Each structure stands twice: as structure tokens, then as C-alpha cells.
């Protein structure tokens, strides 16, 4: 069974490796949606695959304080903070904290996004 929890954060960035005339080369902001998917079986005692509160504790302590309302380029390991690099950075920060981490999804708006499974 897959359970998921969605988070929203706001960050600024610029993508330094793009051509000078590319709009994303300039500093700009996004409202990101981050979704964490956990795969597992229902615990017969709790009735949960994972308690959503436990997901919240990890994301709200290890990820959001580092990236919410921040300039992503100033974060170690994110000098070129494309969504592809950002999602891998997030995965690496949390992969050992969740048994059954299945995938994470990151979207910049309602029409674009990245899915990463730790490849």
C-alpha cells in the first residue's frame, strides 16, 4: 500500500548554466509542491502504514527549514538548483529516515514536475 504526504514550500533560484537570454537564468521564485510516497503494509496495532505525523517530523525538521523561503543556490550541493537536482538532493537527505521510501514528486506548478525513485 502506498501512502503519501504533500508539502508546499516557496524558494527562489537562478539557473546559472543556462544561456544568458533564458528567463530562468535570472533570479525567480516558485511555489513548490513536494510529495513523499511510502510503501508498506498496515501495522496491525496502529492501523497505519506510517503515521503522517512521523513524515511531518522528518520533512519539517530536515528539509523545509533548509529550503523554504531560501535562495536555493546558496545551499551546499545546489549551485545549479534545477528541479532535477533539487529532488535528488531531497532524496539523499531523507532516504535513510523512511523505511519503505518509494518515490518523491516535486512540482513547480500544476503542469510540470519530477518523479524520483532513488535511481
The whole model's pTM is what? 0.95
Question: Is residue 10 flagged as an active site residue?
Answer: no
> Domains of the chain, with CATH numbers?
2-116 (3.30.479.10)
Question: Is residue 24 flagged as an active site residue?
Answer: yes
Q: How many CB atoms lie within 10 A of CB 50?
A: 19
> Per-residue confidence at 53, pLDDT binned at 50, 70, 90?
very high
* Dist. CA 9–CA 114, nearest whole Å: 16
pLDDT of residue 32: 97
Question: Is residue 74 flagged as an active site residue?
Answer: no
**Given the residues 10, 22, 24, 95, the one annotated as active site:** 24
pLDDT of residue 119: 83
**Given the residues 69, 74, 84, 95, the one annotated as active site:** 69
pLDDT of residue 111: 84
Amino acid at each position: 500500500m502506498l501512502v503519501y504526504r504533500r508539502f508546499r514550500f516557496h524558494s527562489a533560484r537562478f539557473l546559472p548554466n543556462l544561456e544568458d537570454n533564458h528567463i530562468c537564468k535570472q533570479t525567480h521564485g516558485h511555489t513548490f509542491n513536494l510529495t513523499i510516497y511510502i510503501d508498506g503494509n498496515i501495522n496491525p496495532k496502529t492501523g497505519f502504514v506510517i503515521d503522517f505525523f512521523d513524515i511531518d517530523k522528518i520533512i519539517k525538521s530536515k528539509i523545509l527549514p533548509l529550503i523554504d523561503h531560501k535562495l536555493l543556490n546558496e545551499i551546499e550541493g545546489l549551485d545549479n538548483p534545477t528541479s532535477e537536482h533539487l529532488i535528488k538532493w531531497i532524496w539523499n537527505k531523507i532516504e535513510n529516515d523512511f523505511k519503505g521510501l518509494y518515490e518523491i514528486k516535486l512540482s513547480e506548478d500544476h503542469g510540470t514536475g519530477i518523479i524520483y525513485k532513488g535511481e
